[in-house]
Amino acid sequence: MIEKEYYRLDELEKRFDLSFSDVLYLVENSKLDLAFRLTDNKFIIGGWAKGNGFIGYASVKYSGFANITQKDQLTLLSKHKTNCKYFWLLNKDKIVSTNYDYPFESKTPNAFLHTWQPKQPSDISWDRIPAKLFPKEQEHIAHTLKNAMSSIKTLSNKQSQPSEYEKEFDAKIPKVQFYSVGINFELADICILHSELVKAGISESKKNIPKEITPSISSLTVPNQIPKTRSDDFYDLLIRLVGAEPELTAKGYWRNLERELDDLQEYRVFDKHNLLTEISATHINWKDRSGKPKKPMSFSSFSNRLTKVRKELFPNNDI
């Protein structure tokens, strides 16, 4: 049986004794990310700013693997189809036709972009690059309907001057709107990267995985080392955090969580269940999966937890 860099959904049970229900369980619990092959799609790449929307870096063409949000993954697995407009591009070297000029007539901030800050893909440090499908810019539907009504009034000789209310309402409606049909996916489109199976402890690591297959960092990256204990939801977050970058200091992990908090909730990489609510210079405020607020965590308590997680993941101190 040939070794592959990725597998289709219908191969998993025969190769790895992994049923559809197993895949659903792993996705629900943030232990596995589905991937999809894209071909010559146009995107706006950028980053998310807390409360401010999407910051555009460049317009690009891309052919390669991409992740979608966990919400879209679960929709696909439960309803067997989904439509996506937001992605994470996994193969930075597959990004081509990069253009740093602002591509729209509408000024920022608008419904699609908060602002435009040109940045080269090589200057982006993330393994997964946030991207939105390049939209069409067209006349706002409200203006289209208004113009159609005006034409009807003109034909019937009933045209009248707009009221002050109509003028005020008209001024609030943007002249144009952004529209994208999205990309439709079905179960047959799902790809499971071999690296994802390794992180989930389902398959052994392969030495010859091509460099262009960039693994997602949303789950544990240490193969075949399953934690023996679990104290709470924050423990699971630290497992993903330390597993992705084992050599960071406590301050480094603290800064990573600060950056997580700045991302929109559905686009967080490590904090899959949106536990983080506030991070100051000295404390982390958080809640459990059910939304119940938990006791604020000091930096010293955070450091102690990291030590326990390191010992659990690396009992032989092999980092």
* pLDDT, tens digit, 9 for 90 and up, residues 243-266: 777 888 899 899 888 877 876 666
Peptide bond into 109 cis (omega under 30): yes
Residue type, 291: G
Same domain membership, residue 82 and residue 185: yes
**Same-domain check for residues 85 and 145:** no
Give the count of beta carbons closer than 10 Å to the beta carbon of residue 190: 20
Mean residue pLDDT across the chain: 81
Cα gap 191→209, rounded to integer Å: 15
| Rounded Cα gap, residues 194 and 11, in angstroms | 12
The predicted model gives 203-223 an average pLDDT of: 44
pLDDT for position 231: 67
Token output for 27: 């996705």
Nearest by Cα to 193 from 178, 180, 210: 210
pLDDT (0 to 100) of residue 126: 82
| 131 and 158 co-located in one domain | no
Dist CA 208 CA 216 (whole Å): 17
CB proximity list for 55: less than 8 A, separation 6 or greater: 46, 47, 48, 49, 113, 114, 115, 116, 117
Indicate whether 19 belongs to any domain: no
Q: Are residues 257 and 302 in the same domain?
A: yes
Tens digits of per-residue pLDDT, 61-115?
A: 999 999 999 899 999 999 999 999 999 999 999 999 999 999 998 889 888 999 9
**Token pair of 192 as six digits:** 């499971």
Q: Are residues 43 and 100 in the same domain?
A: yes
Number of domains in the chain: 3
Residue 234 included in any domain: yes
Q: Does residue 204 sit within a domain?
A: no
Q: Does residue 104 sit in the same domain as residue 235?
A: no
Q: Are residues 131 and 162 in the same domain?
A: no
On whether both 91 and 182 belong to a single domain, the answer is: yes
9 contacts: CB under 8 Å, gap ≥ 6: 20, 23, 187, 188, 190, 192
- Cβ atoms of 315 and 308 closer than 8 Å: no
Q: What pTM was computed for the model?
A: 0.61
Does residue 167 share a domain with residue 99? no
Determine the residue type at 129: I
Domain span holding position 287: 225-313
Q: Could you say which DSSP state residue 42 is in? A: E
Q: 160 and 285: one domain?
A: no
Q: Are residues 114 and 147 in the same domain?
A: no
Is 14 among the domain residues? no
Q: What is the mean pLDDT of residues 131-138?
A: 91
Q: Are residues 235 and 112 in the same domain?
A: no
Neighbours of 21 (CB within 10 A): 9
Query: What is the C-alpha to C-alpha distance for residues 59 and 73, in angstroms, rounded to an integer?
Result: 25
Task: Give the residue, 103 or 145, on which the prediction is more confident.
Answer: 103
Is the pLDDT confidence value at 59 over 80?
yes
pLDDT band at 158 (very low <50, low <70, confident <90, very high): low
Indicate whether 209 belongs to any domain. Answer: no
**6 domain-assigned:** no
